[in-house]
Amino acid sequence: MNEQDIRNIRHERTYDGYLKVDAYRLEHRRFDGTWMGEIRREIVRRGPAVAVMLYDPQRDSVVLIQQFRIGAYLAKRSSPWMTEIVAGLVEKGEDPAAVARRETLEEAGCEILDLVPLYDYIVSPGCIDETVTMFCGRVDSSKAGGNHGLAHEGEDIRVVVKTFDEAWTELHAGGLDTSIAVIGMLWLKVNREALRRRWA
């Protein structure tokens, strides 16, 4: 099935603030070939983003960030200050790799020495159109630390450096519980030795 199996699409913007929300009315074909009646769906229009798993092969360490997240607060997580990996939105016409380098500098104060593409996926297609292009970035973690972020964007970001084993233990203890951090850590677990050989 493809876009030809969707018809009578109408939409309106219902909210236009920090996030954009559109309400759609449409019909789509069922798996048996018949047409479903009109349905209404609201969706958050977020667009493309990047995420970067920062890894130092010499020290076998990862560079993580911590910041306040309203979603974690409302979901009653153990803390609304989440431990995450670097991420940011891609503006129209921007190259995701360039955004990865820029966001790493803004959020973690680190320069990316090499960049490996990992995945391109949609976050939660039932309610948001955000896609993530994910990378693993080589960094020098000996230079990482401090507080970062852009004040005019309301960011207050703390950098945390952990050995891979410490971060892996934290993941399994529930301390790394955002999707991008989980995906990044699982990829790194599988590919870590190959990366260390590549970046020796």
- Which pLDDT belongs to residue 153? 74
Q: Which domain holds residue 23?
A: 3-45
- Which pLDDT belongs to residue 158? 94
Average pLDDT score over residue span 48-57: 97
Q: Does residue 22 sit in the same domain as residue 101? A: no
Q: Does residue 135 sit in the same domain as residue 40? A: no
Q: Does residue 31 sit in the same domain as residue 63? A: no
What are the residue ranges of helices labelled H in 15-144? Answer: 70-74, 96-108
- Which pLDDT belongs to residue 143? 83
**Which range, of 134-138, 149-153, 178-182, averages the lowest pLDDT?**
149-153
Q: Does residue 155 sit in the same domain as residue 84? A: yes
Q: Does residue 21 sit in the same domain as residue 82? A: no
Contacts of 167 (CB under 8 A, 6+ apart): 62, 64, 176, 185
Which residue did the predictor score with more confidence, 77 or 21? 21
So which residues are the catalytic ones? 153
Q: What is the mean pLDDT of the chain?
A: 94
17, with CB counted inside 10 A (0-12, 13-18, 19+), is: exposed
Q: Does residue 14 sit in the same domain as residue 101? A: no
What are the residue ranges of helices labelled H in the chain? Answer: 70-74, 96-108, 164-172, 179-198
Q: Per-residue pLDDT tens for 109-145? A: 999 999 999 999 999 999 999 999 999 999 999 988 8
SS3 state at 142:
helix
Q: Per-residue pLDDT tens for 61-78? A: 999 999 999 999 999 988
Q: Does residue 23 sit in the same domain as residue 93? A: no
Dist CA 51 CA 168 (whole Å): 18
